[in-house]
Structure 1
Amino acid sequence: MLPSPHQSWAHSTCTVAELTKAIQDDSITAIESDILMGTDTSSSSTSSKQPIMAHPPERTSDLSFTTFMEMTSSCNKHLKLDIKEKECIPPILTTLKKENTKDAMIYFNADILPGPGVRGTVPIPPPAFLQPCLEFLETQPPQTAQSHYAFSLGWRTDCRSIYGYTPQDISKMEEVMLQYSLLEKSAGVVLAVNARVLAKSPSVLDDTLDEFGKTQKLQVLIWTGTGEPPISNRIFSNLKDHFERIGCQDLVGFDCQVASNPWMGAIFDVGVKTNGVWWNTKKAFWYTVELILPKMNVVQKLLKRD
């Protein structure tokens, strides 16, 4: 069974100083950190790449994954491992076999499906992420796999997208969950969704929560990303009110930066929308160019033949 979705998160904890602060802060109940292959600057051997705690595009950190696990081994805080590259997965799982003695939950997190604003391929497709993680869980005692490891699954998104999550986005994730029997083989699944994107169509998750929420092994976490402006209290309240209205407030958590006052919230919201108009227009232009250019090349070749 999953812990309560109502956690107090330390977000993108990617340095020794940030991790130390999060561990010592009694108000923090869960720690999230990004992982990619890079250089551990605290090590004398800087030539070899290893899993480090860093957010793209950074490739160096004073906090390796091994050190991260050692530092958190005795603290009773949940950990979310936000895996950014599939190359990280084997060494991460090897380290977990050696280092993990935690009683709290460890979430394997990755964006495994394309989503609003980022349609196309994903760096970590479902098989590359889920198969090795499930193989790792098979090496654990059943009680450990069911009580200490969960999946946090998301879509690649951009908060500037005009459109929200679609029913097809959600049904595809449901298919993945069922195909890999994730609810049966782990403590459960958390669907990670961007606040601004979800705000465009919050009801898209209603049926999924109704169907799978009864198992107590599926939750939703609504987040804002690193580098993304805080959301307004209006967006936050609308999302919170929606899930309270359908009786799912105990299945939905938030890891969001919220603007400190209404004026700043309005400025941030308008800024993201304005930037989104330009961004979406540019995307549409280049998409059109990509469609037209091959046809123009064909016409040019035909004209040359004539």
Structure 2
Amino acid sequence: MSILHISQHLWRTHIASILFCIIMMNAEANRIMPNVQEYFPDIKGDLTKVTWAHAVNNKELFKKALADKLMMLEADVVLGNKIGSTEEIPIMAHPPSTTSELSLEDFLSNAITANSCGVKLDFKSIEVLEPSLKILQNHKDNLTFPVWLNADILSGPVNSTAQPVDADKFLSICARDFPLATLSPGWKVRYGAPNITSGRYEPEHITSMKEALARNNITQPVTFPVQAILAAQSIDTLPDLLKMSSINDTTLTIWLSEVEAINITQLKKLIDIVGKNRVYLDLPESIMDQLSSSTPRVAPTTSMGLVVGVVLVAAASYFF
């Protein structure tokens, strides 16, 4: 073989190696966490069957969520101190608390070891976001379960005056630093005493959210958390949220923190319009019973293998 042929062969090999690296880099950039349907095949695409644990901000609640075989663990992230330390880091706590026995690092490590549930991280300030995403980046190769990044980024109904997390900062930082996850951008809503009995997501609320996502070039999966009482009165506006050509995977997460008066008929109608393959229901059990008493929820079998309750309980005691 002549020197010329050898040089050409080496050059082609070099070019092929470069192209392979580029392809692999693009694949990594476009990779996302498994979605809920993939990770929990037993729900057969029916997102209303997903079960939830809330405010999993300490070790005991984490253990209980595993023992109860709940599918998605929601936890709050703030800047604060782990008990026994003065270092300010992302911890699991709900404002106004700024101390916790569980750091975000601990929470993720235990979720990785369990490998039986997804996580929804609720960021309470923009300041905690970047250090939290650095921790997620450090663990990204082991995050083989659904990961959601949640924040209330816009003012919503009914005449909410609570300060939301900065929308553009939240969306742009998430897209830049952790495009693998599902985003969960919501609205600050006014609810509680007196209980909300009327109000809705107006067209301007929908438009503002869609504009924020478009402005920040969001293409990763998005689920929109909407308060159930308001959602039941918004069947003419909420479906429009799911019509974004730049985002392939959009869903609603209908939530309610306490049992309150709600129009069950209208809520059922909204679910039917959107479809059970695009609606999560994070609701009190009594309301779930009214919505779907004939459709029991399922215990999770993840795509990583069969999860047995005894193993979960044993694993929970091992983690801590």
- TM score, norm. by length of structure 2: 0.68
Structure 1 residue ranges without an equivalent (≥5): 139-144, 263-306
SS at structure 2 position matched to 1:37: strand
Q: Is the 8 A contact 1:192 1:220 kept in 2?
A: yes
> Which residue is 2:90 aligned to?
51
Query: Residues 185-207 of structure 1, C-alpha deviation per residue, up to 9 Å, x if partnerless?
Result: x2x10010011122233322123
Distance across 2 between alignment mates of 1:119 and 1:136: 30
> Which residue is 1:257 aligned to?
284
Q: Is the 8 A contact 1:80 1:106 kept in 2?
A: yes
| Aligned partner letter, 1:92 | S
SS at structure 1 position matched to 2:185: strand
Distance across 2 between alignment mates of 1:250 and 1:202: 17
Query: Residues 231-253 of structure 1, C-alpha deviation per residue, up to 9 Å, x if partnerless?
Result: 35x63453123321x25232111
> Which residue is 1:179 aligned to?
215
> For the structure 1 residues 40 and 121, does the alpha-carbon distance in structure 2 shift closer, same or farther, using more than 3 Å as the test?
same
> For the structure 1 residues 24 and 216, does the alpha-carbon distance in structure 2 shift closer, same or farther, using more than 3 Å as the test?
farther
Q: Is the 8 A contact 1:23 1:72 kept in 2?
A: no
> Which residue is 1:201 aligned to?
234
Q: Is the 8 A contact 2:137 2:178 kept in 1?
A: no
Query: Residues 7-43 of structure 1, C-alpha deviation per residue, up to 9 Å, x if partnerless?
Result: 21111111111012212332x11111011122212xx
> For the structure 1 residues 129 and 214, does the alpha-carbon distance in structure 2 shift closer, same or farther, using more than 3 Å as the test?
closer
> Which residue is 2:173 aligned to?
132
Distance across 2 between alignment mates of 1:215 and 1:63: 34
> Which residue is 1:190 aligned to?
223
Match of 2:203 among 150, 167, 175: 167
Distance across 2 between alignment mates of 1:207 and 1:117: 20
> For the structure 1 residues 155 and 196, does the alpha-carbon distance in structure 2 shift closer, same or farther, using more than 3 Å as the test?
same
Q: Is the 8 A contact 1:231 1:257 kept in 2?
A: no
Q: How many residues align?
A: 240
> Which residue is 1:21 aligned to?
64
2:64 is the counterpart of 1:36? no
Distance across 1 between alignment mates of 2:134 and 2:246: 34
| Aligned partner letter, 1:70 | S
SS at structure 2 position matched to 1:87: coil
How many Å apart are 1:254 and its aligned residue?
Answer: 0.6
How many Å apart are 1:135 and its aligned residue?
Answer: 1.6
Structure 2 residue ranges without an equivalent (≥5): 1-33, 38-46, 290-320
> Which residue is 2:182 aligned to?
150
Any residues of structure 2 matched to 1:154-303 within 5 Å, and which? 154-159=186-191, 160-161=195-196, 162-182=198-218, 184=219, 186=220, 188-209=221-242, 211-212=243-244, 216-225=248-257, 229-231=258-260, 235-244=263-272, 246=273, 248-259=275-286
How many Å apart are 1:219 and its aligned residue?
Answer: 0.1
Distance across 2 between alignment mates of 1:129 and 1:118: 22
Question: Which of the two has greater helix per residue?
Answer: 1
Q: Is the 8 A contact 1:84 1:110 kept in 2?
A: yes
> For the structure 1 residues 16 and 212, does the alpha-carbon distance in structure 2 shift closer, same or farther, using more than 3 Å as the test?
same
